[in-house]
Amino acid sequence: MSIRLLNESDLPRMTEIAQRGLEFDEVNEPLVREKTLGAKDFVADLNLGFEVGGRLVGFASGCLGRKVDDIQRSHVRLMVVDRAHRQTGVGSALIKELEARLKARGANQISIFDSPNNYFMPGVDFRYTEAYCFLQKHKYEMYRENHNLICDLDVRAWPTLDADAAALGPQGFELRRARRGDEELVHAFLEQNWPAWHDEVQGAFDNNPPTLYVAFYEGRCVAFSGYQGNNKTLSWFGPMGTDPVCRGKGIGGILLRWCLRDLAMQGWRQAIIPWVGPVRFYANYCGARLDRCFWAWRKTL
């Protein structure tokens, strides 16, 4: 039995472990890679596997997060142990080793799964009973609930959407799909309002075509809405935001619905709207409803 670093050849087995162990989630190999070895902030010695008899039976992927008020945050981005090897010390060995490595890199706080720049779920689904018990055992504290919404998709919905966007033109607004040349303006808008979303929005820019819609006014970005910038192989919406002074004009609703229409055209029947704050906004503009609940856990290192 031993802990070692993960490598690309492990991905099929990692995916198998995750598919069996995360029964409430849709898991595929590209997604597992995105959360571990393919992450933009990938650090080799923070991606650990546990072997028994030469076979991988569990893995954990960690990362450093943002530093806020002298607290250097860190995250367990994804961690799963094969069902046949639970309650044998595999998970405990992985979490203790990952905590030690993150602490050595300057982290003094660690949380589970809710890594803002590249997350699979915004915490731990409350139905994962074994994870609940495991985290309590290792002195993690639950500090917040996060929620996902879900909404039904139909390519025929909102037939006046393009006309609604064009109607804002006489007021000085330009609404359209983002282009490569828009990146500087969009990121400047993010830096002023939502700096934690740079990576997800850039992920949407990086898709071909960009999976991002934007609104401009007098040469400034004043709103954006994206999808599949994170969890690229799922029907994942977000993030989105509108300048407070431009709210109430329907801009955000148009950008949201463009994104949802694109997902419908990909063949998805439902969209996931994760880590939601303004539930009423989504309920109003796309009929979204509350779906999954996640508990956020953290620990001081």
Residue 75: CB atoms within 10 Å: 25
Percent of the chain topping pLDDT 90:
96
User: Do 174 and 90 have their domain in common?
Assistant: no
User: Do 173 and 53 have their domain in common?
Assistant: no
The Cα diameter of the chain in Å comes to 69
Which candidate, 275, 282, 301, places its Cα nearest to that of 144? 275
Position 171 in a domain: yes
- Express each pLDDT in 81-136 by its tens digit: 999 999 999 999 999 999 999 999 999 999 999 998 899 999 999 999 999 999 99
Q: Distance between CA 4 and CA 293 in Å, rounded?
A: 33
User: Do 48 and 142 have their domain in common?
Assistant: yes
Give the model's pLDDT for residue 164.
96
Position 131 in a domain: yes
Position 279 in a domain: no
Q: Are residues 118 and 34 in contact, defined by beta-carbon separation less than 8 angstroms?
A: yes
Dihedral angle of Cα 8, 14, 16, 20, to the nearest 10 degrees: -170
pTM of the model: 0.91
Give the model's pLDDT for residue 106.
97
Does residue 296 carry a pLDDT above 90?
yes
Q: Looking at the 3D structure of the chain, how many domains does it have?
A: 2
Q: Which residues lie across from 289 on neighbouring strands?
A: 150
User: Do 134 and 243 have their domain in common?
Assistant: no
User: Do 113 and 165 have their domain in common?
Assistant: no
**Residue positions counted in the chain:** 301
Give the model's pLDDT for residue 295.
97
Give the model's pLDDT for residue 255.
98
- Express each pLDDT in 220-278 by its tens digit: 999 999 999 999 999 999 999 999 999 999 999 999 999 999 999 999 999 999 999 88
Give the pair of three-digit tokens for residue 254.
């148009």
Helix axes 251-265, 279-286, angle to 10 degrees: 60
CATH number for the domain harbouring residue 130: 3.40.630.30
Domain extent, residue 216, equals 154-268
Give the pair of three-digit tokens for residue 65.
């997060």
